[in-house]
Structure 1
């Protein structure tokens, strides 16, 4: 019985292996294929650190700003983004110092998250609770 086997490279969609052979019915014929794989060398090294919020529980009647710090020096553009529990993007701020004070928009009582990103990589997320 004539049998044809071909394997397609999932990255390039090119046929990487193609063969025909005659096998007896029920015969098991093992084969293996090695596909070349490459990894981009565009690796960005970002130092590990910890994101700090103070206060992490905020009462807007007293103050509507928080202090934010990241304990490792960053290079390039860093950005803080405020999200609600549903993942909606509420506000953003450029993070360009070791510690900044962020005047927040008017927020309802609830739980929010502040995420720090640098060069497109998420470095840390901190929880913020608003009590009114």
Structure 2
């Protein structure tokens, strides 16, 4: 009998904790990126360099895929938060495209010597609301 009361007490406690956290955010009318940004602004610590980088950042983890750009390359299609190993001019860079909704930008802003190449960023389906 004591085991049943303990189990019921645990279930009730967990249920109350879920109800309490359900009201933590009353307004979800803003977009997901704006909501995340509001938390960064409200946080007591300063944002990291990666959070502030508008085009993403050099990655230390392995790449999701590898792309070789040539002198005739005009564009690079990526998904937001994708990590890509980019080979250009005999050098390689592993880059995570954490762009916070940016749709397109010149790759030369990230990698020198890639003038004329535009990066087109699509939203990652894993992070879209729905």
TM range (shorter): under 0.3
Structure with the higher strand share, 1 or 2: 1
What TM-score does the superposition give when structure 1 sets the normalisation length?
0.27
Query: Whose Rg is larger?
Result: 1
What TM-score does the superposition give when structure 2 sets the normalisation length?
0.27
